Structures are given as structure tokens and as C-alpha cells.
């Protein structure tokens, strides 16, 4: 049994990917989807919300524009799957997903504000805590300003499919000195794009996250492959650049 299980937080809800669950319990994903569809049919026929257990989503694979179904399982969904499993696999799956959910819950616990502890501090400690929190809030606001605007800024660069070329992304995010060639180099160095025979194609995990789409075009000299970026991918690239010390030029 594969022990890897990634828990994600989405809209304040913890979820796991049906593809990872299928791999963990030793099933083909298409077989596992049949199990989920059967559960959904039973739940909905009993007037129960299947979305409390399974949330439908789609993904695409490299070089194929077709969408494929997968589900995000809530903790209730994992419980449902585990309850239908017998023997060692059922026990191990339960142990793994319960542990991973608990780890994620602990990681998401918010530390109490320094202001909340004022009553336990002396006057000097309160002053330090107050200005420390003010500084943290100011730095957060600066980061939010750098991260703006989101999709709206990309509108004039998007094609009819809502996609951009790498060079257009470089212009849209507005980082000084980061033109098309430098951005390609940066993304290869940070293992977002492949640096090899399939140069400048994104790694599959970033395609599956909805950051990129790979298109093919016929030219007079043959078939050309082009990597296009979604608005979600542009935000990802902007965040990655800022994490590496690059700053946006803020328009006045």
C-alpha cells in the first residue's frame, strides 16, 4: 500500500484526491470512481447531500485537451470508503487518512494573537507585542499589494481560451528585468518547466493543478508544441518569483 496521502485545505474544508486514495488502497482509479458513483447514487436516493462526502472535479493530461473526472473526498468520504473495506487494507487506509487529517488540522491551528495575551504582560511587554503585531500586519498588507491584481490584470493578455503565452505572463506580472527568456530560464531552474529534450514543457503535476495547458500547432515546417499559462498559473508564477526575491513594479 502506498503511504502517501496529501490533505489539502479548500474553502476551510480538508480534502483528499480520489486518485491518491485509489493508489493507496490498490485500485485502478476508474474502478474506484465506480465505487464513488455507487455511493453517490445511494446517498442522493436517500435525499442526503453527496457533496458532504465527495466533491466532483476535473483534470487534464499533457497533450490531451479532454477533461477527466476525479473527486475530492472529505473526511466523511474517507470514512465511507474505509467502512466498506475489510482486513489489512481497511485498517491501514483508516490509520493513514486519520493520521494525515489530524496532522493537517494541527498545522492549520492559528496561533493566538499577541493582543490576546496582553493581560498577562507587563507594560513594556505589551508595547513590544503591540508594535510587533502592527509590523506583521503592515508586512502582510504589502505582500497583498504586491500580489494584486489577480485575473483582472491578465484580461488583456488572455486569448479566447483564457490562456497566455509565457512572454505575455512576463509582461502581465510586471517584474523588472523578467522578460520571456529570463522567465523561461527561471521556471526551468525551479523545476516548473522541463529542461531537456522536452524543453519548456511543464511538469505534469503543474498541468494537473490547472497552471498550464500544452497545445500543438501545425506550421509549414511541422508540428509545434506551445506551453500556455492559465490565470491561476500566472498567479503561481508571480508568487514563486516573489518568494525568490523578485518584486513587482507597482503602477502609480
User: Is residue 4 predicted with pLDDT exceeding 60?
Assistant: yes
Averaged pLDDT of the chain: 78
Instruction: Please give the Cα distance from 213 to 219 (Å, whole number).
Output: 19
pLDDT digits (tens, 9 = 90+) for 204-251: 888 888 889 888 766 554 566 788 998 888 888 988 888 887 765 544
pTM: 0.44
SS3 150: coil
* Distance from chain centroid for Cα 64: 21
Residue 151 has a pLDDT of 47
Task: Round to whole Å and give the CA distance between 245 and 247.
Answer: 6
Q: In the predicted model, what is the mean pLDDT of residues 63-84?
A: 89
Residue among 33, 73, 30 at smallest CA distance from 51? 73
Residue with C-alpha cell 499533457? 62
Structure confidence at residue 114 (pLDDT): 43
Which pLDDT tens digit goes with each residue over 113-133? 444 555 566 666 666 666 666
Cis peptide bond N-terminal to 170, omega within 30: no
pLDDT confidence of residue 88: 82
Per-residue pLDDT reduced to its tens digit, 135-153: 666 665 555 454 444 445 6
Antiparallel, parallel or unpaired: β 212-219 and 164-165: unpaired
User: Exposed, middle or buried, 250 (CB in 10 Å: 0-12/13-18/19+)?
Assistant: exposed
Check: CB of residue 62 under 8 Å from CB of residue 207.
yes
Q: So what's the pLDDT on residue 3?
A: 60
Containing 164, the helix (H) or strand (E) segment is strand 164-165
pLDDT exceeds 80 at position 1: no
User: What is the pLDDT at residue 147?
Assistant: 44
Asked if 57 and 70 touch (Cβ cutoff 8 Å), the reply is yes
Q: Please, which pLDDT band fits residue 60 given cuts at 50, 70 and 90?
A: confident
Question: Where in the chain are the domains?
Answer: 7-108, 114-147, 153-243
| Cell 493537517 sits on residue | 104
pLDDT tops 70 at residue 106: yes
% of the chain exceeding 70 in pLDDT = 72
Which grid cell sits at 185? 530560464
Q: How many CB atoms lie within 10 A of CB 189?
A: 11
Contact 21, 73 (CB under 8 A): yes
Amino acid at each position: 500500500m502506498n503511504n502517501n496521502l496529501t490533505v489539502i485545505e479548500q474553502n476551510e474544508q480538508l480534502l483528499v484526491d480520489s486518485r491518491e486514495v485509489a493508489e493507496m488502497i490498490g485500485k485502478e482509479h476508474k474502478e474506484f470512481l465506480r465505487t464513488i458513483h455507487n455511493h453517490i447514487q445511494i446517498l442522493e436516493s436517500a435525499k442526503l447531500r453527496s457533496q458532504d462526502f465527495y466533491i466532483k472535479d476535473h483534470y487534464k493530461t499533457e497533450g490531451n485537451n479532454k477533461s477527466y473526472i476525479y473527486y475530492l473526498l472529505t473526511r466523511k468520504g474517507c470514512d465511507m470508503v474505509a467502512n466498506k473495506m475489510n482486513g489489512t487494507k481497511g485498517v491501514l487506509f483508516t490509520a493513514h487518512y486519520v493520521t494525515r487529517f489530524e496532522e493537517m488540522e494541527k498545522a492549520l491551528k492559528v496561533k493566538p494573537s499577541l493582543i490576546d495575551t496582553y493581560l498577562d504582560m507587563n507594560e513594556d511587554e505589551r508595547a513590544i507585542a503591540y508594535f510587533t503585531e502592527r509590523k506583521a500586519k503592515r508586512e502582510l498588507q504589502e505582500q497583498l499589494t504586491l500580489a494584486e491584481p489577480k485575473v483582472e490584470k491578465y484580461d488583456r493578455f488572455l486569448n479566447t481560451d483564457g490562456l497566455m503565452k509565457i512572454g505575455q505572463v512576463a509582461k502581465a506580472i510586471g517584474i523588472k528585468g523578467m522578460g520571456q527568456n529570463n522567465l523561461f530560464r527561471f521556471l526551468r531552474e525551479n523545476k516548473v518547466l522541463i529542461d531537456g529534450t522536452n524543453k519548456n514543457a511543464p511538469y505534469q503535476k503543474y498541468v494537473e493543478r490547472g497552471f498550464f495547458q500544452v497545445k500543438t500547432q501545425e506550421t509549414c515546417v511541422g508540428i509545434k508544441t506551445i506551453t500556455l499559462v492559465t490565470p491561476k498559473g500566472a498567479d503561481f508564477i508571480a508568487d514563486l518569483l516573489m518568494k525568490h526575491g523578485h518584486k513587482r513594479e507597482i503602477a502609480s
